[in-house]
């Protein structure tokens, strides 16, 4: 496992974080342009009556207060009232008018948005909310984005995937074999940092392939029979390895889906730490079992 000094040498500069945030802001602007809305948007006025309370960012992004088929955040962009079914009282709903305008301008909604599209939408909702509370600044915005891409994941493997064995020696030998494999893809993670900082010699495909390889290793791990005393730790091990592999595959999408990529970046750091802790626990448990 890499030592602390190695991390200090290659850890990402603030540049990578600023780069991803810049991408978010640019995509948000693109959405405004694509929808054909060029007028100045007064977020503070438009969002004064938006339901906030305990709604999550995702729920805010989907909320449609007047039930006209257009989300509140998008009505703000088009200049219609999110709480009024027919803002101009002309007998045609805001939803129909907006959809008609989209057809005219060739700006029909993407029916299969990627992670970046979704987060661009959420970013606009976030900006609206922060304007309404008079607390908008880049640090709060950045933290909001990070919070929403580092949410806890449900375990990929569960106890139902576990097979119990009484053969202690066999299990320990298998555990040592697992540790002999490249279960972290650390070199590929370092390559991602280099690529993010301008190294064009890095092949993103190699990062994706390593991620896929590590996911396959996680399947091998979960299919390894485990002694009952180590069941929970073994499950943590398999899940950590799986999510490290998944993180690398997401990171490799930096060009096509940058938000998915930064999600993978933060997820990698999280599960790399969990894996280290799990292996440390393994060492302690094994010593107790032996003694």
> Same domain for 210 and 99?
no
> Same domain for 239 and 129?
no
* The last residue of a domain, from among 125, 149, 173: 149
Q: Domain of 32?
A: 18-149
pLDDT reported for residue 45 = 39
Give the end-to-end CA distance of the chain in Å, rounded to a whole number.
26
Question: How many other C-beta atoms lie within 10 A of the C-beta of residue 136?
Answer: 16
- The region of weakest confidence among 29-33, 35-39, 202-206, 262-266 is 35-39
In degrees, rounded to 5, the angle at the alpha carbon of residue 184 between the alpha carbons of residues 183 and 186 is 140
pTM: 0.59
> Same domain for 135 and 173?
no
Which carries the bigger pLDDT value, residue 27 or residue 83? 83
Q: How many domains does the chain have?
A: 2
Report the b/e string of 172-210 with b at 16+ CB within 10 A.
Answer: bebbeebeeeebbbbebbbbbbebbeeeeebebeebbbb
* The last residue of a domain, from among 149, 173, 196: 149
- Tens digit of each residue's pLDDT (9 = 90 or more) over 17-57: 444 444 444 444 444 444 443 333 333 334 444 444 444 44
- The region of weakest confidence among 30-34, 109-113, 219-223 is 30-34
Mean pLDDT score across all residues of the chain: 72
> Same domain for 179 and 255?
yes
State percent of the chain over pLDDT 70.
58
Rounded distance, CA 17 to CA 39, Å?
Answer: 30
> Same domain for 219 and 93?
no
Which carries the bigger pLDDT value, residue 28 or residue 194? 194
pLDDT reported for residue 240 = 94
Which pLDDT band, with edges at 50, 70 and 90, does 170 fall under?
confident
Rounded distance, CA 238 to CA 217, Å?
Answer: 9
> Same domain for 172 and 132?
no
SS3 state at 200: coil
pLDDT reported for residue 69 = 84
* The last residue of a domain, from among 102, 131, 149: 149
> Same domain for 251 and 171?
yes
* Helix extents (H) in 3-137: 4-10, 14-34, 43-46, 57-62, 72-78, 94-105, 115-132
> Same domain for 47 and 91?
yes
> Same domain for 179 and 219?
yes
Rounded distance, CA 66 to CA 52, Å?
Answer: 15
- Is residue 1 in a domain? no
- The region of weakest confidence among 51-60, 71-80, 170-179, 198-207 is 51-60
Which pLDDT band, with edges at 50, 70 and 90, does 156 fall under?
very high
- Tens digit of each residue's pLDDT (9 = 90 or more) over 226-259: 988 889 999 999 999 999 999 999 999 888 877 7
Which pLDDT band, with edges at 50, 70 and 90, does 146 fall under?
low
> Same domain for 83 and 143?
yes
- Tens digit of each residue's pLDDT (9 = 90 or more) over 131-144: 454 444 555 555 55
User: Is pLDDT above 90 for 100?
Assistant: no
112, 60, 67, 119: which is closest to 259 by C-alpha?
119
Q: Which two tokens stand for residue 187?
A: 């070199």
pLDDT reported for residue 242 = 97
> Same domain for 226 and 282?
yes
């Amino acid at each position: 496992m890499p030592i602390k000094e190695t991390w200090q040498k290659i850890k990402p500069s603030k540049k990578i974080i600023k780069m991803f945030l810049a991408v978010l802001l640019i995509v948000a602007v693109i959405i405004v342009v694509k929808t054909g809305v060029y007028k100045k948007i007064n977020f503070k006025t438009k969002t004064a009556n938006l339901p906030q309370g305990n709604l999550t960012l995702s729920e805010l992004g989907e909320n449609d207060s007047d039930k006209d088929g257009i989300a509140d955040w998008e009505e703000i962009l088009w200049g219609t009232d999110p709480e009024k079914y027919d803002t101009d009282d002309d007998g045609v709903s805001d939803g129909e008018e907006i959809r008609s305008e989209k057809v005219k301008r060739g700006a029909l909604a993407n029916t299969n948005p990627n992670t970046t599209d979704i987060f661009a939408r959420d970013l606009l909702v976030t900006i609206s909310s922060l304007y309404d509370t008079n607390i908008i600044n880049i640090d709060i915005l950045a933290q909001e984005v990070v919070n929403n891409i580092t949410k806890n994941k449900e375990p990929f493997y569960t106890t139902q995937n576990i097979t119990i064995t009484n053969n202690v020696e066999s299990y320990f030998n298998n555990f040592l074999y697992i540790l002999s494999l490249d279960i972290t893809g650390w070199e590929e993670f370092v390559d991602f940092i280099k690529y993010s900082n301008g190294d064009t010699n890095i092949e993103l495909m190699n990062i994706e392939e390593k991620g896929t390889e590590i996911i396959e290793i996680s399947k091998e791990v979960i299919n390894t029979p485990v002694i009952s005393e180590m069941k929970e730790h073994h499950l943590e091990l398999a899940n950590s390895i799986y999510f490290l592999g998944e993180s690398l595959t997401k990171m490799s999408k930096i060009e096509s889906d940058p938000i998915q990529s930064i999600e993978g970046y933060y997820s990698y750091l999280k599960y790399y730490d969990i894996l280290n802790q799990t292996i440390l626990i393994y060492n302690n448990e094994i010593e107790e079992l032996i003694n």
